[in-house]
Homo-oligomer: A and B are copies of this chain.
Amino acid sequence: MSRLHMTTPRADGFRMPGAIEPKTGCWMIWPERTDEYPFGARPAQKAFARVASAIATSDPLTMCVSARQFKNARVMLPPHIRVIEMSNDDAWMRDVGPNFVVNDGSGEVRGVDWIFKSWGGIYSPYDWDDQIPRKVLDIEQLDRYRAPIVCEGGALQCDGEGTLITTRQCLLNPNRKVGNTDAQIEQALMDYLSVDKVIWLPRGCPFDTTDGHIDDLAVFARPGVVLLTWTEDSSDPQYEVSHEAFEILSRETDAQGRPFSIHKVTQPNPIEWTAEEAAEVDPVDGIAQRVAGERIAATYINYYIGNKAVFVPTYEDPNDSPGLAAIQACFPHHRVVGVPGCRDILLIGGSIGCITQPQYAGGKRV
């Protein structure tokens, strides 16, 4: 049974785990928007298939696919990937999927279903995406909380031990507040994730179309250990943002009172849309047109932490190897696996972290 609870996860003893905790699987959505993705979305589909196949070596993977694309996805994905029909408006399971929360006492897992409004309303419609949490939880027969605030999973970095890092630019943006005060939003985050301390960075990465999701800027490797997208090029707009985040996090402590160990991961060299790519997106009224030279937020830390390995986007860039090495240094018990060709995911707005949703296993805290 998948029941809707009118209480909060905190009241019922559930918490959002840290990303390193055990998972029963990973959820993704198959990309198909030809009005956002160039070349009929085919390069994006191939890149998603690479990511899914890589992750499936570590965690069971479920791909949600529209009716129209079901046959194509089923053929493009290996048979050990579960493919389920599910209507969608876009391909960002991190943002639209349920955030799974666990009860350390009973081992039960439930899902938090945030109000989804398409990253401040940049695309419409978004009704299908908003229904995805209830559909996923119904399939898995897990209970659900419908949270009273607008949020996307990419805006959240929890350590599983009481700390949340996020950005004001995103969650306190007027385009997401829907009548809530800042204090109400913070309280809802604390109640629905079971965190005791919210660290508000002022903003996320430039060139990120999500209004500064934290998961391109600063992410937990494990409690107390943060990876930070970095550049030493002071002419790059990323410079100021990364240095500002570093300063703030260096002075902060987590909910347990620990200072953060901060590891800088130098970003890839700037990645921009080409004229050919921009010309090969369906021109549709109401969607911002891509233009040649438009830069895309590109990082290595927008990764997926599986049970056995960490799957890191790579871009055929000289910074790929140092980036993988910097991440590997923070994961002594995981293989770090670079997934090639992630430029084709970036082009449409994110990377491996943005297209994956971990389903946590519950049970005793590790």
- CB of B82 within 8 A of CB of A2, answer yes
Pair B80/A1 contact, Cβ less than 8 Å: yes
Q: Is the CB of A134 within 8 A of B67?
A: no
Residue A83 at the chain B interface, CB threshold 8 Å: yes
Residues of B within 8 A of A128 (CB): 67
Encode contact with B along A1-33: 1 for CB under 8 Å, 0 otherwise. Answer: 111100000000000000000000000000000
* Interface residue? A79 (CB, 8 A): yes
Contact A79 B131 (CB under 8 A): no
**With A67-B67, A67-B128, A87-B67 as contacts: A138 and B82 at CB distance below 8 Å:** yes
CB closest residue in chain B, given A3 = B79
A74 within 8 A of B: yes
- Count residues of chain A with CB under 8 A from any CB of chain B: 23
Min CB distance A361 to B, Å, is 17
Confirm or deny: A76 has a beta carbon within 8 angstroms of a beta carbon on chain B: no
Q: A79: which B residues are within 8 A, CB to CB?
A: 1-4
Chain B CB within 8 A of A240 CB: no
Nearest B residue to A127 by beta-carbon distance?
Answer: B71
Smallest CB gap from A56: residue in B? B1
Residues of chain B within 8 A of A86, CB atoms compared: 85
- CA A64 to CA B3, docked complex, whole Å: 18
Confirm or deny: A141 has a beta carbon within 8 angstroms of a beta carbon on chain B: yes
A residues 85-128 near B (Cβ < 8 Å) are: 85-87, 128
Least CB distance, A127 to chain B, in whole angstroms: 9
Task: Quote the shortest CB–CB distance from A27 to chain B (angstroms).
Answer: 13
Closest-CB distance, A29 to chain B (whole angstroms): 13
A365, CB-defined interface residue at 8 Å: no
> How many angstroms between the C-alpha atoms of A3 and B80 in the bound complex?
8
Q: Which 5 pairs show the lowest CB-CB distances between chains A and B? A: A1-B80, A67-B87, A3-B79, A83-B138, A85-B86
- Please name 14 pairs of A and B residues whose Cβ atoms are closer than 8 Å in the assembled complex, sorted by A: A1-B79, A2-B79, A67-B87, A70-B87, A70-B131, A74-B134, A74-B138, A82-B138, A83-B138, A84-B84, A84-B138, A84-B139, A85-B85, A85-B135
Given contacts A67-B87, A70-B87, A85-B86, 17 further A-B contacts (CB under 8 A): A1-B79, A2-B79, A3-B79, A4-B79, A67-B67, A70-B131, A70-B135, A74-B134, A74-B138, A82-B138, A82-B139, A82-B141, A84-B84, A84-B135, A84-B139, A85-B85, A85-B87
